[in-house]
C-alpha cells in the first residue's frame, strides 16, 4: 500500500503518461521507485528525474499538502479506504483526489451521473432537476460536473430532495468554475462532496474536461444524458462510461432541437430510454419495470384548447402553475404522448389516434 504523500508526489510530476504511471506503480514500493529515479529513466524522463533528485518534487508535495490544509481541503490517495472503489478499478484512476466534503467509498452501486448541455432548454433544465430530485428521493447519489445548464440543475434537484450529491470539477478546488456556482458548490459540499483530480491553482483549461468526464463516468454505476448537442462534453462522459462497462441512458428530445441531437443519437446506438426516475431505477434493477402512461393533468390540459397551439406564457397564465412545475409537467405530458411540442416553443393537446396535423 502506497502512502498518499508518495502518490501526490508522483501526481504532481509533469509529463508522466497514464501508461508510465501504471508501470511505475508495478515496479515495487513507490517510495523506493521515487528514491531511485535514475533507474526508471525509461518512464520518468530527465526533468522528472532532476526534480526528484534535487528534492523539488518532495517540496512541491509538501507545499500542496499545507495549502490544501489551510483551505479545508483533504487530499485522498488512491490506496486509501476512503477513495471511491469503482473509480479505483478504472483504467486510469487519478492518483489523488482533492476533496471538500465527505467521501463514501462504497456508494457506487447507488450513484448515477446526470449530465448534459450547458446551453440547455428550459424544459431540459426542469426535467433534469425533477429527475435528480426523484432519484435522490429514492436513495440514489446524484453525481455531475457543476457546469452551467443540466449539471447545475441536477445538483439542485438532489438538494431539493435533501439527498447526497457529488460534483466533479475540471479545475482546482480553489479555481471554482463557473464562479457563479460558488453558492451551489457550498451546498453540494455540505450534502456530499466537491472533488477534483487537479492540483490547487489549476484553471478550467479545455483539456481538463475530458479528464473530468472520465472521473464522473468511473465514479458511478450509470450515466444519464438529459440534453446533449452533437459535440457536447456529455457525450464524452457517455463514451467513457461505455469503456468502463457502465450503463448509459438518455432522455429523448425533439428531432428539431439541436441540443437533443447527441442524446437521440445515443438512443439510436442502444442507450436505455429515460422518461423519468422509474425508468432509471428499473434499468438498474432497483425496482420492477412498470408500464407508464401519461396521466392527464387537468390544470395543464384544460389550459390548452384542442387543436390550437399555445405558448408557455399563455398556458402558465391559464393554469396558474409556477413556471418550473409547468415546464416539468409539459415535458412529462409530451414524453407520454398527451401533448405535442411544435416549432416556436408552442404546445398542443394531442388527438386520440392519428395525432395532431399541423395546419397549412
Residue 327 half-sphere exposure, CB side, CA atoms within 13 Å?
16
- Supply 279's cell numbers: 425508468
Sequence-distant (≥ 6) Cβ neighbours of residue 335 within 8 angstroms:
252, 275, 276, 294
Q: Residue 354 in 3-state DSSP?
A: coil
pLDDT in the model for residue 352: 52
According to DSSP, the β-strands at 165-168 and 272-273 are unpaired
Report angle CA 333, 336, 339 to the nearest 5 degrees.
45
What's the rounded Cα separation, in Å, for the pair 146 and 127?
Answer: 17
pLDDT in the model for residue 296: 44
**DSSP bridge partners of 339:** 349
pLDDT in the model for residue 189: 97
- Supply 196's cell numbers: 477534483
- Supply 103's cell numbers: 467521501
Which residue is listed with cell 498518499? 4
pLDDT in the model for residue 262: 92
What's the rounded Cα separation, in Å, for the pair 323 and 329?
Answer: 10
pLDDT in the model for residue 105: 79
pLDDT in the model for residue 173: 98
The verdict on pTM exceeding 0.75 is yes
Are the C-beta atoms of residues 136 and 164 closer than 8 Å to each other?
yes
pLDDT in the model for residue 84: 94
Q: Report the Cα 227 to chain-centroid distance in Å.
A: 12
- Supply 162's cell numbers: 435533501
What's the rounded Cα separation, in Å, for the pair 39 and 108?
Answer: 38
pLDDT in the model for residue 344: 67
Sequence-distant (≥ 6) Cβ neighbours of residue 314 within 8 angstroms:
303
pLDDT in the model for residue 356: 35
**DSSP bridge partners of 113:** 143, 223
Q: For the chain, which ranges sit under pLDDT 70?
A: 287-297, 323-325, 328, 344-345, 351-360
pLDDT in the model for residue 291: 40
Are the C-beta atoms of residues 139 and 145 closer than 8 Å to each other?
no
What's the rounded Cα separation, in Å, for the pair 92 and 19?
Answer: 8
SS3 per residue for 171-208: CCCCCCCCHHHHHHHHHHHHCEEEEECCCCCCCCCCCH
Render pLDDT for 246-283 as a digit per residue (tens, 0 to 9).
999 999 988 888 888 999 999 999 999 999 999 999 99
Amino acid at each position: 500500500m502506497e502512502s498518499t504523500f508518495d502518490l501526490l508526489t508522483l501526481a504532481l510530476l509533469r509529463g508522466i503518461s497514464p501508461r508510465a504511471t501504471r508501470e511505475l506503480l508495478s515496479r515495487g514500493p513507490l517510495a523506493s521507485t521515487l528514491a531511485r529515479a535514475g533507474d526508471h529513466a525509461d518512464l520518468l524522463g530527465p526533468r522528472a528525474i532532476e526534480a526528484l533528485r534535487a528534492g523539488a518534487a518532495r517540496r512541491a508535495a509538501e507545499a500542496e499538502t499545507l495549502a490544501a490544509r489551510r483551505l479545508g481541503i483533504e487530499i485522498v490517495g488512491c490506496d486509501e479506504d476512503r477513495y471511491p472503489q469503482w473509480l479505483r478499478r478504472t483504467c486510469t484512476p487519478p492518483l489523488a483526489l482533492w476533496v471538500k466534503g465527505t467521501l463514501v467509498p462504497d456508494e457506487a452501486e447507488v450513484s448515477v451521473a446526470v449530465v448534459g448541455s450547458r446551453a440547455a432548454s428550459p424544459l431540459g433544465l426542469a426535467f433534469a432537476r425533477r429527475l435528480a430530485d426523484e432519484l435522490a428521493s429514492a436513495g440514489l447519489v446524484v453525481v455531475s460536473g457543476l457546469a452551467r445548464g443540466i449539471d447545475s440543475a441536477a445538483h439542485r434537484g438532489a438538494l431539493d430532495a435533501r439527498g447526497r450529491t457529488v460534483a466533479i470539477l475540471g479545475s482546482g478546488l480553489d479555481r471554482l468554475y463557473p464562479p457563479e456556482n460558488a453558492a451551489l458548490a457550498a451546498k453540494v459540499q455540505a450534502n456530499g462532496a466537491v472533488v477534483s483530480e487537479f492540483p490547487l491553482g489549476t484553471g478550467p483549461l479545455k483539456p481538463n474536461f475530458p479528464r473530468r468526464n472520465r472521473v464522473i463516468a468511473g465514479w458511478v454505476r450509470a450515466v444519464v444524458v438529459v440534453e446533449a448537442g452533437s459535440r457536447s462534453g456529455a457525450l464524452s462522459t457517455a463514451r467513457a462510461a461505455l469503456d468502463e462497462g457502465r450503463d448509459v441512458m438518455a432522455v429523448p428530445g425533439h428531432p428539431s432541437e439541436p441540443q437533443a441531437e447527441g442524446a437521440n443519437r445515443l438512443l439510436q446506438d442502444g442507450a436505455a430510454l429515460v422518461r423519468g426516475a422509474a425508468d432509471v431505477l428499473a434499468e438498474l434493477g432497483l425496482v420492477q419495470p412498470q408500464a407508464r402512461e401519461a396521466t392527464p393533468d387537468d390544470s395543464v390540459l384544460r389550459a390548452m384548447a384542442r387543436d390550437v397551439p399555445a405558448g408557455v406564457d399563455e398556458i402558465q397564465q391559464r393554469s396558474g402553475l409556477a413556471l418550473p412545475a409547468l415546464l416539468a409537467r409539459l415535458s412529462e405530458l409530451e414524453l407520454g404522448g398527451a401533448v405535442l411540442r411544435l416549432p416556436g416553443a408552442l404546445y398542443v393537446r394531442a388527438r386520440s389516434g392519428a395525432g395532431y396535423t399541423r395546419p397549412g
